[in-house]
A and B are shown apart, each in its own frame.
Chain A
């Protein structure tokens, strides 16, 4: 009795900092955003900052953000899934090393790495100088949506690779061998064994790529040359330049709804995935 009471007390003490962090770091800021989002400059209640998402320029930016985020997520998935298979099957006993190589760039700040792409892709940048020296046609994607997608894929690919790799490494090889023994071909093994078992990894990979791609403004500013206007850029401008915090906060609330919807969808797939495992 006393022992469990002590335990509970200990738990409370140790969870204290965490609760304080959640309170100060999540709940309070969310409350402040909700307050600003639901009031106008004079402090009166209004829904106009929320409805503002329907105005043409906002809806266009949101549409572009959804589109680019979707494309980046698909590209990341197409790259990460085969990579996961390779990492899983590499029999060199260097799996740790391969993953390490993949994580290494993440030790650098992602803004710096994105800025590096800006320098690389510039019209007179390193890539074009090399292409010119080789007499090849020049790469002209800087300041276009293509460059922004490149930036998103580059920055967020590790977030797709790691969960997929983690899910695949857990697959028991005897299951795969059993499938072969029972006459399944390579495609059937991939489709009916490996793919369903990697669904949890794929799902969390999709969330971890899609959500930051949807809300980014740094990548589009640096690689889009101010010409690719995502919803994140609009929100950022409302705070820093237009000094309309209310509208910025209102649009942020709408974005939260979008993220919650996408996470709920993914959650649903995840459940189904788990069900198919059983």
Chain B
């Protein structure tokens, strides 16, 4: 999910590390009195100012490390569950970590702000972390179609099927990402994005192959740049990219197709053997505070499921209606055999 701003991550890491060293050298004040909290998070995934605010507020010292993809996080936590106290990961990775016994249960007595978590996100959390025992949401979003109002008639776009319309030939940017592409084909055909039925995967592949000649480019991070630069008329993007793109090009509009879409959630969680569990819980609790959520929303433009800022995030692009949400799914781990099967068909799609 979290792919943008990746370039900034190392820079931020250096700045933050420098800040941390400087902080250690100086008058420590209140910070650091209660020990250290080790945080492992996607690069540049919260307002960096908040780190100092947290230290001021709680008296903990924070040490933060960054990673780029969920796949990078997994071996680190698997090989040393005590390396970090609190981590950030996507829905399907949380499920995998829970299965591996790598996460610790959250004591909600220490996280009173959990009461601010929006109700509409809870059914999706239920899918990967039943009872919300191990994780609380940090950000969430959907995939949908971003389009240029001057190049496409707004009334024409309401369905994933519109991406198969020949009049948009050579105008469409699709994600260069296997699971998201099968999600789209699945929604058109009425199949689950987590299906492991080979017949359905075959059918979805054929459907995608029919659309391939219409595609201008398969792209992930650069999709929004192509849209902002008006090289393409339609692109499938993550809802978190929309407000940013609209700031730079006012012709951008966004639709969550009526067939439903993928809902993704990135969550905070405690590791199984966290050395400073209370510190980790304090971090999670802090992230759920209303003004902290507001800072993060303004910094990231990703939706944050917090009732305290419900009005602020009340953008239609970030909030699909209940009837669409009912048709949404979350990405699940399918196991190595199903992964190999998908990958086989995906390669067939790519090489034709």
Q: Beyond A142-B217, A237-B343, A244-B343: 16 further Cβ-contacts under 8 Å?
A: A41-B336, A57-B348, A58-B351, A61-B347, A61-B351, A122-B231, A124-B229, A225-B216, A226-B218, A226-B219, A227-B215, A234-B350, A242-B178, A242-B340, A243-B71, A243-B339
User: Complex formed: what's the CA distance from A229 to B177 in Å?
Assistant: 14
Q: Which residues from 204 to 260 on chain A have a C-beta closer than 8 Å to any C-beta of chain B? A: 225-227, 229, 233-234, 237-238, 240-244
- What total of chain A residues lie within 8 Å of the partner, measured CB to CB? 27
**Cβ of A225 and Cβ of B218 under 8 Å apart?**
yes
**Cβ of B351 and Cβ of A57 under 8 Å apart?**
yes
**Cβ of B216 and Cβ of A143 under 8 Å apart?**
yes
With A57-B348, A244-B340 as known contacts, state yes or no: A124 contacts B231, CB within 8 Å: yes
Q: Which residues from 216 to 240 on chain B have a C-beta closer than 8 Å to any C-beta of chain A? A: 216-219, 226, 229-232
When distances are taken between beta carbons in the complex, the residues of chain B under 8 Å from A166 are: none
29 contacts between A and B (CB under 8 A): A55-B344, A56-B351, A57-B344, A57-B348, A57-B350, A57-B351, A58-B347, A58-B351, A61-B347, A61-B350, A61-B351, A122-B226, A122-B229, A123-B232, A125-B231, A142-B217, A226-B217, A226-B350, A227-B215, A229-B347, A229-B351, A234-B351, A237-B343, A238-B343, A240-B71, A241-B177, A241-B178, A241-B343, A242-B178
By size class, the interface of chain B is 20 to 34
**Cβ of B217 and Cβ of A143 under 8 Å apart?**
yes
**Cβ of A56 and Cβ of B231 under 8 Å apart?**
no
B contact residues vs A (CB 8 Å cutoff): 71, 176-178, 212, 215-219, 226, 229-232, 336, 339-340, 343-344, 347-348, 350-352
> Does any Cβ of B come within 8 Å of A262's Cβ?
no
Report the minimum CB–CB distance from B219 to chain A (whole Å): 6
Report the minimum CB–CB distance from B212 to chain A (whole Å): 8
Q: Which residue of A lies closest to B212 (CB)?
A: A227
Q: Which residue of A lies closest to B175 (CB)?
A: A226
Report the minimum CB–CB distance from A189 to chain B (whole Å): 47
With A124-B229, A143-B216, A143-B217 as known contacts, state yes or no: A229 contacts B340, CB within 8 Å: no
Report the minimum CB–CB distance from A131 to chain B (whole Å): 14
